[in-house]
Structure 1
C-alpha cells in the first residue's frame, strides 16, 4: 500500500517527536565550500550560548541534499549547506519524503578559483580556454560545426599564448556544488562563445547542457574528492597542475597558491563582490523546519549565522573569505530566517 505524502509526514513527525530526546546536538551536512563558514559559526555558537556545538559533516552539496531530503526524524540532518541552489528534482524528493517546509538561506557570495602553485607562473585564461581544455567533446579544430573527442593535450594546444605544459586540473567530484557551479558558469560560459553551440540551447536544452557541462574523462581532469587540502598538497607537489576550489579556500592559502586571471579579472574579494569576476556563485544553507523546536538550537544557530556581527561587512565571516550580500538582501533574508518562511519550488 502506497502512503500519501500527508500520511508520511504525520507518521514521520510522530516518530520524530518520540525520539527527539535522543539527540540534543544540531546535525549539519553538505558543501565543503560552506563548511569553514558553518564551522566558524558553530564554534562561536557553542561557546556563547547554552546549546551544544553543532556537528558538521562535509559531504558535498549533492550528497548533503540527498541526506537532507531523505526524511524527517532524529536520524536525519537538520540543516544542509550548499554552494549552489537546490534543484527542482531535489525539492521534489524532499516533498515526497515528508520534508515539506524548508527555509532557504543565502549567506553570501564566493568565487570559484582556478589556482596553481606560487612557484609556477600565474595562469591567464579565458572561459573559452577552460571549456576547450576540459570538455569531453569540443568543436573540431579543423573547422566546421562538428564535435570531436577532446584532442588537446597541452595548454598551448588550446591557445598558443598559453604554456606548453600538459593539461592537468584537479577538481571536485560530481557530488560537489563547486563542480556543478564550475560547469554551469565557467564551462558553459566558454561553450556558448561558439555561436552554433549556443543556438542548440533553443532547440534542445538537454543536448546543449550535455555538450557544455560534460567534463573529459581521459585523465586531464582529476577528481580529487571533497578535501580541498588534498588539492593544495598535490598542487605543491606538481607545479604544472591547476586546482579548482572556492575563493575562500584560496584566500586561506595565499602563501602557497595563486589564483589564475580569468577573462582579464583576478579572483579577489572586491572583484567577486562587484560581480566583475566571471566565475562567482551564491552560497546557502537549508533548514528542515519540522526539526525546529524539537532539536534544540536550530532557530538560534540560524539567527547567529544571519546576524550582522557574523555575516555583515564588519562581521567575523568576511575575514574567512565570505563575500557579504548587499545590506537590503541581508535584512530580507534575516527576516525570512526569523519567521522560518518556507521556500517554494526553486524553478
Structure 2
C-alpha cells in the first residue's frame, strides 16, 4: 500500500468516527478575504457546507497544515508567499507528502497612511534605512551600526521631520516575509558591498561549498531582513482592519498591508509612492510597482475525495467567474493572473498535480 493510500485509509476511518463534513482552511490574512468570498458563494451555490476559513497568518497556517493527515488537521492553507523547502520537509516528516500548489493571483504590499496626512513618496532604500535593525556605517566603511534613525528626515532630508512609526505584521505573516524580501532587501542591495555578499554566496554554491554558501546567505539575509525592535516598527497583529483604525487615530504613522485592504478602504487611507510608483491595480499587474507578490493556497491531496466538496471548491476558486480577469475576486482587489497562467493553474488544481519546488 502506498503512503498516499495508507493516509487516505486512515482519513476514511477518522471521517467515519469524527464525521467532519466541511472543508477546513487556515492561513494568510491577506488571502483570507478572497477565500471567504469563494467559500460563501460555494456554500450558497452547492449542496456542500460552507468551508470554515481561519486567519492564522501564512507561517502559522503552514505549520498547522503540516502537522498531519486526518480530520483534526486543516485540508487547505492559504499563503501570501510560496511554501518554503523547510515547510515541505515538515509536512513530509508528518506524513503530508502529496501537496497541490494553487497560485491564485497577485497582490501589492502597500505602505500607506491616513488621508488626513500628505501622501508619502519613499524609496525601498529609505524603508531599509528606516526599519532595519542594523544599517551601513555612514563613514563609508563596510561595517554596520545599530539603526540610530528616529525621524524620517534622518533617513532622507527630503522626507518629513516626523517620527518613524510603522505598523506592520508579525514574523508569522506572509506579508512580513514579502515586505522583508521585496522592500527591505530591495533597499539593502543598493549598497554594493552588501549585494556582493549574496553574489559570493552564489559563487560558493556553484563551487560546491554548501556550508560557506549557506553562511554567506544567512549573513546577507540577517542584514537585509532583520527588522529593528527599538520602537519605530510596531507589530500590529494579523488584523489588517485594525491597522486601518490605528492609522486614522495617528495620521503620522504608516502601515503595511495588502493592496486589497487599500482598495476596500480607499476613502480613509492612501498608498505611498514607492520608487516613484503608486500602488494601483495596473502597476501591480504590469510589475512596475516594486513591492508586489503572488498569492497561493496549498491542498492536502489525501483529503480530496474524503472531505466532502474539496474538488468542487478547487473548481470554483479556479473558475473564470472567480479568479478570471473580470471575476468576483478582482472586484475584491486581487490582481488576476494572465490567461496562460490561469489555464496552467486550473489544470494543476483540477488534476491535483504535485507541488514542484
Gaps of 5+ in 1: 1-5
Instruction: Deviation per CA, 1:268-297: give whole Å up to 9, x if none.
Output: 000000000000000000000000000000
Partner residue, 1:118 = 115
TM-score, normalised to structure 2, is 0.93
Q: 2:181 aligned with 1:184, yes or no?
A: yes
Once residues 310 and 13 of structure 1 are traced to their aligned partners in structure 2, the CA distance between those partners, rounded to angstroms, is 29
Residue 199 of structure 1: SS of its match in structure 2? helix
Q: How does 1:1-347 map to 2 (within 5 A)?
A: 12-21=7-16, 22-203=19-200, 204-344=216-356, 347=357
Deviation of 1:241 (Å): 0.3
* Inter-partner Cα distance in structure 2 for 1:100 and 1:15: 14
Match of 2:205 in 1: none
CA contact (8 A) 2:38 2:322 kept: yes
By how many angstroms is 1:14 displaced? 3.4
Shift of 1:13: 3.6
Cα distance in 2 for partners of 1:238, 1:46 equals 39
Q: TM-score, normalised by structure 1?
A: 0.96
Given that 2:7 and 2:302 are in contact with CA atoms closer than 8 Å, whether structure 1 keeps it comes out as no
- Tell me which residue corresponds to 2:208: none
Residues 251-275 of structure 1: per-residue CA shift (max 9 Å, x gap): 1000110000000000000000000
Q: Deviations over 1:161-199 (max 9, x none)?
A: 000001000000000000000000100000000001101
**Is the contact between residue 8 and residue 97 of structure 1 (CA under 8 Å) also seen in structure 2?**
no
Q: Cα distance, 1:141 vs. partner?
A: 2.2
Question: Is the 1:102–1:288 contact (alpha carbons within 8 Å) kept by the matching residues of 2?
Answer: yes
1:194-235 superposed Cα distances (whole Å, 9 cap, x missing partner): 001101113311100100000000010000000111111110
Measured in 2, the distance between the counterparts of 1:23 and 1:144 equals: 61
After superposing the two structures, state which structure 1 stretch, 148-157 or 13-22, moved more: 13-22
Secondary structure in 1 matching 2:119: coil
1:3 paired residue number: none
How many residues are treated as equivalent by the alignment?
Answer: 340
Task: Report the alpha carbon displacement of residue 12 of structure 1 after superposing the two structures with TM.
Answer: 4.5
Q: Which residues of structure 2 form unaligned runs of 5+?
A: 201-215
Alpha-carbon contact 2:4-2:98 (below 8 Å) kept: no
Query: 1:92-130 deviations in whole A, cap 9, x for unaligned?
Result: 111111111100000000000000000001000000000
Q: In the TM superposition, what is the alpha-carbon distance from 1:7 to its structure 2 partner?
A: 9.0
Equivalent-residue separation in structure 1 for 2:236 and 2:58 (angstroms): 15
Distance 2:41 2:318 in 1: 13
